[in-house]
Structure 1
Amino acid sequence: MKIRIKEAADILNAGYMDFVDVDKYIRGVSIDSRKVSENNLFVPIKGATTNGHSYVKDAIKGGAIATLWNKDEPDPPTDIAVILVDDTVKALQELSLFYRNTLKAKIVGVTGSNGKTSTKDITASILAQKFKTQKTTGNYNTEIGVPYTLLSLDEDCEVAVIEMGMEKKGEIDFLTRLVQPDIGIITSVGLVHIDNFPSIEEIAKEKLDIVNAIKEDGLFIYFGDDPLIEDTVNKAAVKESIRKETFGLNDTNTLYLREFHEDLDGITLRVSDEEFDELHVDILGKHQALNTMAGILAAKELGMNPEEIRQGLLKIEKTGLRNEIISIKNCTILNDCYKSNPVSINAALNIFEMFKADKRIVVLGDMLGYREMSYDMHYNVGKDLSSFNIDELVTIGQEAKNMAKGARENTGIKSIVEFDTKEEATEYLKKYINENCSIMIKGSRFLKLEYIANTLKDLEEKDEK
């Protein structure tokens, strides 16, 4: 984004303290003082535990030329332009909406209970074969992350793939009106953030709000095998001008899976579109075949040919902490600890079945956000482990103890060990890095279970010195 300081203030209908030339250009936006670049607009966010206004001096050292500033915050800086607003988050959103309306880029908006990040990565990789393409980085898919992503798009960006997350009612409607996608994708609907919704049906309705701001004659792509999604689509007031296409396993879909093979080098598939030969994707899991088909439909909508799509699938830049394979001495770790719910655990376990070793260890942490359903959800995850080849189960956290209980009462897993903290679990797992074993790690983002693999990797590096 490139805009004069005074113009930014005018867009926000805000006053400013002009300690610098307000005709100078802002070039880019940062919400993290540690990542400020020259001539950025710094947007301090006031959160539950930290206040970004406290870090404005660091932003200035990093090269910020201006900052938004909550009017009720004391001691605004005097060596950069200060744009005074009632709420920096709302101002960030307003600025992103203005900027979105200046862009000529086609935008693909992606949401879903599971699979949205992988679908974003796959789709962006394909589109980059033909267009200047940008995408949501990391987990910037919230009411702060989405406007930040929009403001991070280059003026000459041709296509952007924007991920939209949802934790509460009204969030998808709000985010999609900022994004205004030309193509909207729903990957799935599941029991995620059920603590904020009365039922899975309400989650489906909220996800479907992505259609509210798809542009005229735009395309809505969704997983067609889920009766709940299909029923919600049929009941919703989707504008007639918005076209619909589906992907899935059933031959009733616009694009469906004909053949599928996988190994630790990735997945190979054939789809129903006869234009395509065999496709290889450097990513793990059968569920990724579904995400791939969503990306293919989006690419075809934007005029890409089969060879461009095939090449894009070979060059996916994957977001971290999802199905990462880490080798530590004789041990191989499947590090899949960005989030956790029954569906994503099952998907990770199916991938883990391909790992061959003398000992197979599954590490599972708490799944958060299930309130009164928590006991049953955790117990059933443990119970369902009977379907997989597991030598040892390690659980982390209080809720995960119910996974251990479900496994003890319903499976033949010989060793089940429970820990309260990831540090205790890591200390226990240290002994395995010298053995021929495989370890799968899965838990909710709050637990930050990547600590385990990172610590074990550090041990290996120390031993090598």
Structure 2
Amino acid sequence: MEIEELYSRFTECNGLTTDSRHCPEGSMFLALKGETFNGNAFAAQSLAQGCRYAVVDEPQYASPENPRIILVDNCLETLQKLANYHRRRLGTRMIGVTGTNGKTTTKELIATVLGEKFKVLYTQGNFNNHIGVPLTLLRLKPEHEMAVIEMGANHPGEIKTLVHIAEPDYGIITNVGKAHLQGFGSFEGVIRTKGELYDFLREKGNSTIFIQNENPYLNKIATGLTCVRYGQTPGLDVTGKVVSCSPFLRFSWTAEGTSHEVQTHLIGSYNLDNALAAVTIGRYFGVEDAKICHALSSYVPQNNRSQLVHTASNTLIVDAYNANPTSMMAALENFRQMEAAHKVAILGDMKELGEGSHEEHQKVVDFLKECGFERVMLVGPEFGGTSSSFEHYKDVKEVEALLAAHPLQGCCVLVKGSNSMKLSELPASL
């Protein structure tokens, strides 16, 4: 079936689902495949549960007698083509967001600020890959005036794939750092891949990017693009600085000679750039200064991203969604500068660092020796291979067992590690 005809069927539906356990009445089911599942096998079930159509790519699950089952060559490619076709039909102004650190928080802040003036669609959670991006685009409706689309990658070429699906009109790379080095091969590979967003916009022509002015890596690859700049250097489109961070970020920002101060619910001075990006983009699209400040002061982060949690016994800074050398060092430096008694750092392995993993974990351990925290608890085999005198535990279960026998009391605890280390389970024990 040609994409135009399939799109016509899609417009008859109340959205699209790829999960046979979630089949809203009148929706379209599209059968994806993975290592442990085959969505084609659930096509008939999806129709019985209320879907209007089911799209499959294996002939044995289609039948000429059932026109509600649509056969295509490849369901994943069809999903991506359908999303691109839909995006083009609606023509919504779109901002592409990528980067090593901060892209999810920045995306949330941008959407919150733009939401003060526009009807905004934005990426939910971490739906930022080759499946999540098209699913997000297919949620676009005519009433949406803007879209903020997060794009993630852990291998070369992935951002290129995503930008050709989403076709953003504007772009922002939050930063580049040492993450997913196992997939990218090198730090230069990270820069090239994130830069695929700039490449697309450069080829498109007359495109605008929002850029952190003090980042030498981004400036180097931003040639040929219109740059709207933010940072801490005077005279930029938006200039900002940290006022305090104890523990929540309070910052000031200045544009066109007018200054404002904002108290946020964001933990960490490293969130300054994320907030300034949202200010810059909000102003670019005409959101009033007062509304920008209101949006940023009202935003509360979720999903284990720099959350402040008060338990009966301790105060926790939970940043257990992701970890790489750049974000780990930023979190530790911020924790070191915080005014708090009885600081305890519980850190889990940083994943996907490839051959440089041992070196990067040792750098973290060496920095920890300078921090003077009351207690450091390292979790996972990568930290276990470093040279240090800090406590070490095999996994989160060992930590939970220790805390059950010897609870922490009256401490300020930083919990940070890659998501697969499952440190997000620790707050229940603290």
**TM over 0.5, yes or no?**
yes
Name the structure 2 match of 1:348.
331
For residues 368-401 of structure 1, give each alpha carbon's deviation from its aligned partner in whole angstroms, at most 9, with x where no partner exists: 1122111101111111113424222222221121
CA contact (8 A) 1:121 1:319 kept: no
Name the structure 2 match of 1:112.
99
Name the structure 2 match of 1:204.
191
The letter of the residue matching 1:163 is E
- Choose from 365, 388, 394 the match for 1:420: 394
The letter of the residue matching 1:10 is E
Count how many residue pairs are aligned between Structure 1 and Structure 2.
428
Structure 2 unaligned spans of 5+: none
- Choose from 376, 380, 390 the match for 1:393: 376
CA contact (8 A) 2:361 2:383 kept: yes
User: Which range is displaced more, 338-347 or 183-192?
Assistant: 338-347
Name the structure 2 match of 1:131.
118
CA contact (8 A) 1:183 1:298 kept: no
The letter of the residue matching 2:37 is T
The letter of the residue matching 2:418 is S
Post-superposition offset of 1:344: 1.0
1:446 aligns with 2:412: no
CA contact (8 A) 2:343 2:412 kept: yes
In 2, Cα distance between equivalents of 1:137 and 1:324: 18
The letter of the residue matching 1:277 is H
Residue 329 of structure 1 aligns to a residue whose secondary structure is: coil
Name the structure 1 match of 2:3.
11
Residue 221 of structure 2 aligns to a residue whose secondary structure is: helix
Post-superposition offset of 1:146: 0.5
Over aligned residues, Cα RMSD in angstroms? Answer: 2.8
Name the structure 2 match of 1:188.
175
CA contact (8 A) 1:255 1:271 kept: yes
For residues 186-215 of structure 1, give each alpha carbon's deviation from its aligned partner in whole angstroms, at most 9, with x where no partner exists: 110111111123432232122121123335
Name the structure 2 match of 1:231.
220
Q: What are the residue-to-residue correspondences of 1:39-118 with 2, within 5 Å?
A: 39-56=26-43, 59-60=46-47, 62-71=49-58, 74=61, 81-118=68-105
In 1, Cα distance between equivalents of 2:346 and 2:10: 56
The letter of the residue matching 2:124 is T
For residues 31-61 of structure 1, give each alpha carbon's deviation from its aligned partner in whole angstroms, at most 9, with x where no partner exists: 2333432222122321123333344466446
Name the structure 2 match of 1:412.
none
CA contact (8 A) 2:250 2:261 kept: no
In 2, Cα distance between equivalents of 1:229 and 1:301: 20
Post-superposition offset of 1:81: 1.9
CA contact (8 A) 2:343 2:373 kept: yes
In 1, Cα distance between equivalents of 2:23 and 2:335: 40
Post-superposition offset of 1:329: 1.2
Distance 1:317 1:176, change over 3 A: farther
The letter of the residue matching 1:229 is L
The letter of the residue matching 2:381 is Q
CA contact (8 A) 2:84 2:165 kept: yes
Residue 27 of structure 1 aligns to a residue whose secondary structure is: coil
Residue 162 of structure 1 aligns to a residue whose secondary structure is: strand
In 1, Cα distance between equivalents of 2:135 and 2:273: 29
For residues 340-375 of structure 1, give each alpha carbon's deviation from its aligned partner in whole angstroms, at most 9, with x where no partner exists: 112111222244346666533212112111221111
CA contact (8 A) 1:30 1:43 kept: yes
Q: What are the residue-to-residue correspondences of 1:115-264 with 2, within 5 Å?
A: 115-214=102-201, 216-234=205-223, 238=224, 242-251=225-234, 253-264=236-247
CA contact (8 A) 2:308 2:316 kept: yes
CA contact (8 A) 2:160 2:197 kept: yes
Post-superposition offset of 1:318: 2.8
In 2, Cα distance between equivalents of 1:132 and 1:67: 30
Post-superposition offset of 1:80: 8.2
Q: What are the residue-to-residue correspondences of 1:323-334 with 2, within 5 Å?
A: 323-334=306-317
Distance 1:373 1:252, change over 3 A: farther
1:27 aligns with 2:14: yes
Taking structure 1 as the reference length, the TM-score comes to 0.84
Distance 1:137 1:23, change over 3 A: closer
User: Which range is displaced more, 381-390 or 87-96?
Assistant: 381-390
% of aligned pairs identical? 27
The letter of the residue matching 1:392 is R
Taking structure 2 as the reference length, the TM-score comes to 0.90
CA contact (8 A) 2:266 2:307 kept: no
Post-superposition offset of 1:434: 5.9
The letter of the residue matching 1:456 is S
In 2, Cα distance between equivalents of 1:220 and 1:426: 45
For residues 45-92 of structure 1, give each alpha carbon's deviation from its aligned partner in whole angstroms, at most 9, with x where no partner exists: 211233333444664465322222122565789988222122211111
Name the structure 1 match of 2:344.
361
In 2, Cα distance between equivalents of 1:343 and 1:81: 50
Distance 1:402 1:274, change over 3 A: farther
CA contact (8 A) 1:28 1:151 kept: yes
Post-superposition offset of 1:226: 2.0
Distance 1:372 1:312, change over 3 A: same
CA contact (8 A) 1:176 1:212 kept: no
Post-superposition offset of 1:217: 3.0
In 1, Cα distance between equivalents of 2:137 and 2:9: 23
Name the structure 1 match of 2:429.
456
In 1, Cα distance between equivalents of 2:372 and 2:36: 42
In 1, Cα distance between equivalents of 2:75 and 2:110: 32
CA contact (8 A) 2:106 2:275 kept: yes
